[in-house]
Amino acid sequence: MPIKTIIEPFRIKSVEPIRQTTREEREKILRAAGHNLFLVRSQDILIDLLTDSGTGAMSSEQWAAIMRGDESYAGSPSFERFRDSVQAIMGFKHVIPTHQGRAAERILFSVMCVAGDVVPNNTHFDTTRANCEFVGAQALDLPCAEGRQPSVAAPFKGNMDVQALERTIAEHGAKRIPLVMLTVTNNSGGGQPVSMANIRAVRAVCDKHRIPLYIDACRYAENAYFIKQREPGYEKATPREIAKEMFSYADGCTMSAKKDGMVNIGGFLCTNDDTLAQREKDLLILTEGFPTYGGLAGRDLDALAVGMNEALEEDYLHYRIVSTAYLGDHISEAGVPIVEPPGGHAIYIDARAFLPHIPPAQFPGVALAAELFLEGGIRSVEIGTLMFGKRDKDGTEHVGPMDLLRLAIPRRVYTQSHIDYCVEVILEVWRRRNEIRGLKLTHQAPYLRHFTARLEPFGT
Ligand code: F0G
């Protein structure tokens, strides 16, 4: 019989202690933080699932590459190794380093968009939307129909609605649409993948109207692995071959290397267009740095040169996708409502369905996040009414479209026993869900209120 157990494909060379706290301590910490886990110190967290961005563990090869880093201001060989790694995978002509993904977005939109333009995407990530709107353009989300239904399982819920894209172009005219974007995987839509067929179909529409296609590539390796597993015809292809085909349909990409670049900081912008590249580099020099380092240290570029290749290793991707699904499947089997099927980098609990007795205006996602912290020291993040809702001057709360709780899994950081622990904590909270109370806001900032909001339970 072949062995079925899937193990972490690494052993641990350096360890970082995590701190157990008592329930009494956690109650005090939560109260002091106004029930907002962004305001808790990381030393007070046992398992941190706030984000998978920049929180991964680097390999011994990456740490070795760090020592190879050349810190020359211009023309560093670290840049050449980084550029060669990216080009071998993605094939783009120009590779421009930035300090993280949003810097690449800012430069891309500043160069390509003017006020009044429209930028369609399957779903814009918050920073992508914000950078697009900052230059006066409209960020339009066109997810496929099944992408809007949390409980419906479908293989490629990250796809763009191609007919909606056609309609958008007919409505606004191709001249007002400087680029179309595809986010792989679709983070805001539950970490769901985009199929090769969808990328091809979007490309065909773009070709018809001569509109460039850009990929938001943060989690492109995870997307490639989903295509291998789920899309007929790709079973035998390697993730690298699949990635190469994905990028062959695009004119460029933005990348937050803090995800599938396997580094703690870094990003880049790619394009095949010489004129655009020149303008992008001019802008880069203004705020990020010279085009051979773009706001990163030489050692960061070397770590990234190695990380890009490690993210495509099949053993790693298999473990990554299966271990995220392990968490999702174990809680959903017990009845916990999650966005189905499990995403690549995170599990999204449907907090509105988990806590139906708490109205959305009382922040069920934040209440659930607080309970997971109280029960077991786990940090997660609400993606719901606190993040996307708004309160009018008269105090009326406009709720978000959904109230989700995201449990994002850092890369190569936690073992199966950590995840088993999380399952147990979540199921304990599920068992006593009827006792959980809603929250009321006691402080909010005018913008991006979720980062600094303070809340307290009703009835206190
Ligand atoms: N695009 C997507 C799809 C992202 O998920 C992120 C970041 C970015 C762009 C921006 O990249 O942070 O390097 O500037 N997502 C993180 C998260 C913050 O927690 O999902 P960045």
Domain extents for the chain?
A: 23-52+314-457, 60-310
Give the list of residues 6+ apart from residue 280 with CB closer than 8 angstroms, or none: 94, 96, 107, 108, 111, 269, 271
Average pLDDT, the chain: 96
- Alpha carbon of 188 to ligand 1 centroid (Å): 10
CATH number of 60-310: 3.40.640.10
Q: How many CA atoms lie within 13 A of 245 on its CB side?
A: 18
* Sign of the C-alpha dihedral computed for residues 270, 271, 272 and 275 taken in this order: negative
pLDDT at 162 over 70: yes
CATH 3.50.50.60 assigned to 23-52+314-457: no
Whether 406 lines ligand 1, by a CB cut-off of 6 Å, is: no
**pLDDT tens digit sequence for 135-161:** 999 999 999 999 988 889 999 999 999
**pLDDT tens digit sequence for 405-458:** 999 999 999 999 999 999 999 999 999 999 999 999 999 988 789 999 999 998
**pLDDT tens digit sequence for 46-76:** 999 999 999 999 999 999 999 999 999 999 9
Whether 185 lines ligand 1, by a CB cut-off of 6 Å, is: no
* Sign of the C-alpha dihedral computed for residues 447, 452, 457 and 458 taken in this order: negative
pLDDT at 216 over 90: yes
pLDDT at 460 over 70: no
**pLDDT tens digit sequence for 29-45:** 999 999 999 999 999 99
State residue 238 phi and psi, 5-degree precision: -80, 155
- Alpha carbon of 218 to ligand 1 centroid (Å): 7
Specify the pLDDT at position 390.
82
Q: How many CA atoms lie within 13 A of 297 on its CB side?
A: 11
Nearest CA to ligand 1 atom 18: 53
Which pLDDT band holds residue 93 (cuts at 50, 70, 90)?
A: very high
Whether 51 lines ligand 1, by a CB cut-off of 6 Å, is: yes
**pLDDT tens digit sequence for 353-379:** 999 999 999 999 999 999 999 999 999
- Are the beta carbons of 217 and 194 closer than 8 angstroms? no
